[in-house]
Amino acid sequence: MIDKRVPDLAAAVAGIKNGATVLCGGFGAVGEPIALTEALLDLGIRDLTIVANNAGTGEIGIARLINEGRVRKVICSYPRTTDPRAFEAAYKAGRIELELVPQGTLSERLRAAGAGIGGFYTPTAAGTRLAEGKETRVLDGKTYVLEKPLKGDVALIAAYKSDRWGNLVYRKSARSFNPVMAPAADMTVVQVKMIVDLGSLDPEAIVTPGIFVDRVVMVR
Amino acid sequence: MQPLSRRQMAWRAAQDLPEGAYVNLGIGLPTLCGDYIPPGREIVFHSENGVLGTGPAPKKGEEDSDLINAGKQLVTLVPGGSYFHHNDAFLMIRGGHIDIALLGAFEVSEKGDLANWITNDPTATPGVGGAMDLAAGAKEVRVLVEHITKEGEPRLKKVCTYPLTAPGCVKRIYTNFAVIDVTPDGLVVREMADGLDLAALQKLTEPRLTLANDWKKLTAPAM
């Protein structure tokens, strides 16, 4: 029987190692897998590379990992989000590395990793500082920048409902990066608000099919 | 001289959004445009975090913490609105499906180069968000920007002094003093605030301005 449910947060994040590249879903704190992210603290791991749209809000989730000195590098589009004090303090003190990626390029790099694509040419950032050092190519008269896939060792994502197969549905704008990251890591762990019986999710409404999911934990 | 207030600038830009357009509003000043769509005109607002059809801020007691816009403000969904993931949100942007992106700016050049993501302050934390995707991918980019800085420096430049968001992308500029089009022949003034003439506006602008033959007075209702 396929059963991806795990009993608690410790089981959900078990085995994640020092130096891991961790994809964290959401947009700001909406759709951010805060409980899973904070569960990494109890593992005692450090030197993490966090991939997310933002770099933590207030003192929760990614911000808490940064405050506890667990994060070596952040790959994100917009660290200056609502209440970015944890990242800003670490960045100004030189304790954290930042790789800034345009948001659509970040999303497409994650998609490429999940889709087995070796890279892609995007018009975004052509002619700007963020394209420096990257291969560019003129195709049909337009300049494009070569971007490479961005794969995680683990993806931590948040969804609304799941079943024991790991099929996921989301709620409103809490969807954002979560379905993009689910296929883009070696292991994908999901925190959900509720777990329902297999067969009770509308197949037409499942956004992330369970094939992309390894572990599901319920966090109320 | 009677420059427009920030809300009046947003009102002015909103009047030009055509019926049926899919529009992305940048964070800050452009977001205010959503409040000033002329009655009866149907416009669909796109939010980069996966919403088509964002509506106004929710009434007290009807807030939903899972429904925000790109500026991370609580919003509502209009009837007919939809949710999707980030890849589709940026497919819409990069693939040329967004008719108009209304963005803020630090500087705009006479060639329509846009600088709106980073200054030259090395101590500031940089952030790009969706700005480069919108600038490169929307069918048309329009900018809302105060004409001069607090220090009185022009924000319309011959060449941007800040790093670019995208070269040559801006088609129209709404400022508190004027409405200006970026054309192959340079910047053309379509509207000017009451009490300004071209010479006075030129003093506040770095590149050469041309006055359109059919130029109008820039006005907006009191608010």
Instruction: Report the pLDDT value the prediction gives residue B201, as an integer from 0 to 100.
Output: 98
In the structure, what pLDDT confidence band is assigned to residue B42 with cuts at 50, 70 and 90? very high
Asked whether residue A113 is assigned to any structural domain, the reply reads no
Binary contact (A176, B49; C-beta < 8 A): yes
Q: Is a pLDDT exceeding 90 seen at residue B71?
A: yes
pLDDT of residue B30: 96
In a domain, A194, yes or no: yes
Domain of A69? 9-101+151-218
CB-CB under 8 Å, B66 with A173? yes
pLDDT at B123: 86
Give the pLDDT confidence score for residue A132 in this predicted structure.
97
Q: Which chain B residue lies closest to A101 (C-alpha atoms)?
A: B128
Per CB-CB distance under 8 Å, the chain B contacts of A134 are: none
The mean per-residue pLDDT over the stretch B116-137 comes to: 94
DSSP B145-211: --SB-TTS-BSEESS-SSPPSBTT-EEEEE-SSEEEEEETTEEEEEEEETT--HHHHHHT-SS-EEE
- Average pLDDT of B45-55? 97
Q: Across the interface, do A175 and B68 touch by the CB < 8 Å criterion?
A: no
Q: Please tell me the distance in Å from B221's CA to the nearest CA on chain A.
A: 32
Structural domain contains residue A3: no
Over residues A79-105, the mean pLDDT reads: 94
Calculate the average pLDDT of chain A: 97
Residue A167 within any structural domain of the chain = yes
A vs B: CB pairs below 8 A: 138
Average pLDDT of chain B, as a whole number: 97
Can you name the residues that pair with A189 across neighbouring β-strands?
Answer: A156, A215
pLDDT of residue B168: 98
Name the least confident of A12-21, A75-84, B155-164, B175-184. Answer: A75-84
ipTM associated with this complex: 0.96
Cβ-defined contact of B65 to A104 (cutoff 8 Å): no
Interface test with A, best of B49, B93, B94, B161 (most A CBs within 10 A): B49
The minimal CB distance from B68 to the residues A30, A53, A78 is found for A30
A158 touches chain B (CB under 8 A): no
Asked if the structure places residue A135 within a domain, the reply is no
CATH classification at residue A72: 3.40.1080.10
Whether A71 is covered by a domain: the verdict is: yes
As a whole number of angstroms, the distance between CA A21 and CA B164 comes to 30
Inter-chain residue contact B50 with A176, CB threshold 8 Å: yes
**Residue A157 with chain B: CB contacts under 8 Å:** none
Task: Give the pLDDT band (50/70/90) at residue A82.
Answer: confident
Residue A122 included in any domain: no
Neighbours of B163 (CB within 10 A): 17
pLDDT of residue A220: 84
Catalytic residue IDs of B:
48
| All domains of chain B in start order, with CATH | 6-218 (3.40.1080.10)
Structural domain contains residue A114: no
Return the sign of the alpha-carbon dihedral for residues A58, A64, A68, A72. negative
Domains in chain A, number: 1
